[in-house]
Structure 1
Amino acid sequence: MAGFSNFVKEGADVVASFVKDKIFIDQLKSLADLKEGEAKTVKYEGGLYAMYKDGRGRIHAVNSSCPHINCNVHWNSAEKTWDCPCHGSRFGLNGQVLNAPAVKDLERIKFIEDDEATDN
């Protein structure tokens, strides 16, 4: 009987986590309210997220904290990159490191439609 109650509790935890993640993603999209080709940072529940909407209407979102020394990245519209103002690290739309000194990517926030499309 104990095994069954653990199974039910774990199932409930998975559902709660899924709902929480869905609400988080929906809130981020709502707060961003981006036009195609536009980028901005969005503050949500103590976190700061860097978001960009590409020409196909897909949103690319990353945690805006540079992994080098935790400065918040800013959008570079000329290069379409997220740039760190502290030491010059640069990141692509989906947070991949393009220029050092950072050696780790920005943490990517995946949306459901990310699974249906290829990365840029």
Structure 2
Amino acid sequence: MIILHFQLYIVILRYKIMGLTKSEIFTDEQNQLSALLKAIAHPARIAILQRIIISNTCICGDLVGELGLAQATISQHLKELKLAGIIQGTIEGVSVCYCINPKTWKLLEEQLGGFLASYKGETTCC
């Protein structure tokens, strides 16, 4: 299911360059990391993720009061995070409760950690 979300998200991000899509010239790992980072690259989404992490449980509708954003705005950000597979939602009554998707979070942690760790320190090139 997570792979399907990534593939769908990557398809949405494709652009044509001389008959070849940008995503086809990069590795699957590069495309996945890019899609995940794009999904979290907004201060409201970072705040949403922080609230979910701090609560250490699923969040059901508490975000509007906590973040001071409109319900429609929060819903759009939740949609982007869910589409990328970073969060998952379950319906409870009339609310949707969201929590971190542990598999995707682990993948993000591994890929971003590996990318950041690939820099080996100061160089003398500049």
TM over 0.5: no
Return the structure number with greater helix share: 2
Q: Return the TM-score normalized by structure 1.
A: 0.28
Return the structure number with greater strand share: 1
Q: Return the TM-score normalized by structure 2.
A: 0.27
Q: Which has the higher contact order (CA 8 A, sep 6+)?
A: 2
